[in-house]
Structure 1
C-alpha cells in the first residue's frame, strides 16, 4: 500500500517564517494600511511579503537552504509564474538543409529548470507553427 504525504511548498514555508519577523510584520501592516507604497514592497493575494516581485526570505539558514535546494535540485519550477521570467529564445539560421527540409534550429533556454530545447524548424514557418512546436516540445 502506498503512502501519501502532504508537504508545504517553499512559498508556504516562507510565509510562515515571515510571521515571526517583526520587521516583516511592520512592513506588511503598513502595506495593508496603504502607507508603504513608495518602497517597492507588496503583498501577494496570500499575504506573502514581496520586494520588487521577489520573495522576502527571513534570515533562517535552514529555510534558505531548503528553498535553494528546492529551486536547484527539482526538475520542476517552484512557481509557474516565475518560469516565464527565465525563458530565452533564439533562432540559429543558415544551417544546411536536411532531407526533411529543416534549415534552422529554435533554441529555447529555461534558466529556472536548467534545460535547453533544440527544436528543428524551417525558416518559412508562419507564426502559428512555432507556437504549436513550443507547446509540443517545451510545455
Structure 2
C-alpha cells in the first residue's frame, strides 16, 4: 500500500513538473533527513537533524521527478537550496487546498503496534476520531 501511495506522489509531482501547480494547490512534504539517500545542504541538516517539512507553493525551481525520489530547488530565506527527497523518506504529503493528505508509518511503528496492541498513544486515538479522508481524483491536479 505504501508503494502505491508513493507512486501517487510521483505521479502528482510529475504533473506539477510538466504543468505547474494548478489553482491554489500547494504541498507540505515532511521527510526523514537521516535517510541515507536524502540530500540537503549541511546547514539545513544541522538545523533539521531528524525531519524537515518543506512547502512547494509560490516559488520552486528545477523540479526533477524520478522513480526513486524527487529533487527541487526551494528558497530558504533568500537562499536557494536544492534538495533530493527519496519517496521512502517521506513521512507526510499534504495538499491543504483540497484537504488531501498521506501519512506513512515507519516500520518501527508498525512493528510496535503489531507486537503490542496497547501501544496506542493519545495522538493516535485522536486521529481515530477524525472523519474519514476524502478520496481525491488525480484530475483535480490537472489543468
TM surpasses 0.5: no
Q: Which protein has the bigger strand share?
A: 2
The structure whose RCO (Cα within 8 Å, separation 6+) is larger is 2
TM-score under structure 1 normalisation? 0.23
TM-score under structure 2 normalisation? 0.23
Higher-Rg member (1/2): 1
